[in-house]
Each structure stands twice: as C-alpha cells, then as structure tokens.
C-alpha cells in the first residue's frame, strides 16, 4: 500500500514500517475521500518517528496524506516520552473526525484528542485522560450517543508468572489431555479490571 510518512513523497517508508492503523470508511465520500486512516510510522522500530499521522484515499489500497497536511499531526513536545496507538472515528453530530493517541512519559500514559472538520486543519491536542504507565495501550473509543463515549484499552501491567495446571499431548493419532490447557492462575493473585467510561470535553 503506497503510504508516505512525512507529508510529501520523499522519503518513502516501506508499508511494513507502519503500525497502529485505524480507519474510518464512509459509505459515500467525506471531504472528497471515502477512506481516512490514522497510523504511525515506525521505521526500524524507532519511536522517534512513531507519531500520529493522517492519510486518505479513494480506495483502501491508495493512501496518501491529504493535500495541505504535513505529517505527523503531533509530536511529544515538552512532555517528552513517545507517542503511539492512534484511534480515529467520526462524530456525525459535529461532522468532524476525532483522533485519539497515547503519550507515554515517565510513570504515566496520557490520552490526547484532536479534531478536524476537513481532515486538513486539526485542533491542538487536548488531554482527556491520564492513567498509569502501560494502562492505556491500544485505546479503542466508541461513540454510543451524542453525549456518551466509551473507551477500552489494554492494561499491560506485569502480574507475575502464569501457572498452567494441564497438558495436551498427541502423537500417531492418539492424544492425552489433563485438566484445562487454556486456563491458568497467577501465584499471589492478580489485578482484576473493570470497564470504565471516558468523558471527553466538547468545545
């Protein structure tokens, strides 16, 4: 897929060097394009370039930065750390795109939001949520209604060794299984998480 990283056609970064893609696909076109995609360049695993960027296309196999956009849309700035995991969706009530992304700095994960009514001019990043480091990996935001937005994320806190109390062995058409091989326990306990709603401020 021909995606260009830096807002022009040079240098070109191989498609495999892009991570965290998220797309909004319109039934018809929005601002002249059907597909709007957020992604982060990640050449050779270098977080320096892992910054939220925007692409568009007539088809799912043709993605270029919108005319007038100089990717990336955001960089770490004074907070430092690195950016990752953009999530994009469309708000029909305001006729705008929303892009959320994660910033990891120090002991915290920060969730920022930017909005655009044409895909080219974007608002300044606005912090909408703060969590512990590695608590907001791969956020996924869903619009339930005009006043309700919900977020899911991966909480990757290390919780210790995993003990599996079963096995499954097979050879020559015969097999032996004891207990469950897909169920385990974490000695000394583990964190139990629950879903939380996220409220985003409106301009």
Report domain extents, the chain: 15-161
Residue 110 CA to chain centroid, in angstroms? 13
Mean pLDDT, residues 98-116 taken together: 94
Is the pLDDT at 81 greater than 70? The verdict is yes
Mean pLDDT, residues 155-175 taken together: 60
At 69 the pLDDT is 92
Work out the pLDDT band at 24, boundaries 50, 70, 90.
very high
Work out the pLDDT band at 199, boundaries 50, 70, 90.
low
- What is the DSSP code string of 167-188? EEEEETTEEEEES-SS-EE-TT
On the CB side of 104, how many CA atoms lie within 13 Å of its CA? 17
Mean pLDDT, residues 171-176 taken together: 64
Work out the pLDDT band at 98, boundaries 50, 70, 90.
very high
Mean pLDDT, residues 77-98 taken together: 94
Pick the CATH number of 15-161 from 2.120.10.10, 3.40.50.720, 2.30.30.90, 2.40.50.1020: 2.120.10.10
Calpha distance 68→179 (Å, rounded) = 60
Mean pLDDT, residues 126-130 taken together: 92
Work out the pLDDT band at 156, boundaries 50, 70, 90.
confident
- β 18-30/33-41 pair status: antiparallel
At 113 the pLDDT is 96
At 169 the pLDDT is 61
Calpha distance 47→36 (Å, rounded) = 23
pTM: 0.72
At 59 the pLDDT is 74
Mean pLDDT, residues 10-16 taken together: 49
Mean pLDDT, residues 80-108 taken together: 94
What percent of the chain clears pLDDT 90, i.e. is strictly above it?
A: 37
Q: List the single range of 9-13, 130-134, 168-172, 197-201 with lowest mean pLDDT.
A: 9-13
Q: Mean pLDDT across the chain, nearest whole number? A: 78
Report cis status (omega within 30 of 0) of the bond before 147: no
């Amino acid at each position: 897929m021909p995606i260009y990283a830096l807002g022009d056609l040079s240098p070109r970064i191989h498609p495999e060097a892009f991570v965290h893609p998220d797309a909004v696909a319109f039934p018809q076109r929005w601002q002249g394009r059907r597909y709007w995609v957020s992604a982060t360049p990640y050449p050779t695993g270098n977080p320096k370039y892992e910054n939220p960027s925007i692409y568009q296309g007539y088809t799912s196999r043709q993605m270029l930065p919108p005319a007038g956009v100089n990717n990336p849309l955001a960089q770490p700035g004074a907070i430092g750390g690195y950016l990752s995991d953009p999530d994009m969706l469309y708000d029909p009530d305001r006729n705008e795109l929303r892009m959320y992304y994660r910033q990891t700095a120090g002991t915290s994960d920060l969730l920022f939001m930017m909005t655009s009514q044409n895909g080219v001019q974007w608002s300044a990043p606005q912090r909408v949520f703060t969590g512990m480091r590695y608590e907001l990996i791969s956020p996924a935001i869903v619009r339930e209604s005009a006043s309700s937005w919900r977020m899911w994320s991966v909480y990757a806190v290390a919780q210790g060794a995993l003990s599996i109390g079963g096995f499954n062995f097979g050879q020559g058409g015969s097999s032996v299984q004891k207990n469950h091989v897909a169920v385990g326990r974490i000695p000394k306990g583990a964190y139990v998480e629950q879903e939380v709603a996220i409220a985003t401020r409106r301009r």
